[in-house]
Amino acid sequence: MPWQRSRQNGKRYFTDPKVAKFKEDFAKSAIAAGAKVTKLPCTLAITCVMPIPAPWSPKRREEALAGRAAHTSKPDWDNLGKGISDALTGVAWVDDSQVVWANVRKVYGTNPRTEVSVGGSSVLFVPAGEVVAGGSVGKGLHREPTASDDAGEE
């Protein structure tokens, strides 16, 4: 789920319940994957594997899987990175100001997921739902990446 600014209702500010749930579920998945809080400077690499739109032709789907079609639609890369960075605060680092270098990629794939690497320690979050496009982590599963995850995707 992309980052969203807190909204205001009169004098009170609130976070969209969908955003709060995403952050909570993503944090739980990260903890289950073995994330540990550090006080040291961190690097952050995020790859968001986005679903290929259903109406696309087989030729266009093939182009997307071969990496010859860029994901240029919403959500924006910076909102994805901010949402994930905020979700990992208190889980992978004390504060996201510790992130000194970050990279966010959006690619198409047949298995939508979000891959996160913090400080060189790679873990893969495989959501039950579409993390990025659907806005829900659902039950979120963790497993180590396999060669078949990236076969034909890049």
What is the pLDDT, as a whole number, of residue 4? 52
Work out the pLDDT band at 5, boundaries 50, 70, 90. low
The domain segmentation of the chain, as residue ranges, is 29-149
pLDDT score of 104 more than 90: yes
- For 29-149, CATH gives 3.30.1330
DSSP letters spanning 91-139: TTBS-GGGEEEEEEEEEEESS-EEEEEETTEEEEEE-SS-HHHHS--TT
* Bridge partners (DSSP) listed for residue 49: 107, 113
Mean pLDDT of the chain: 77
What is the pLDDT, as a whole number, of residue 8? 57
pLDDT score of 150 more than 70: no
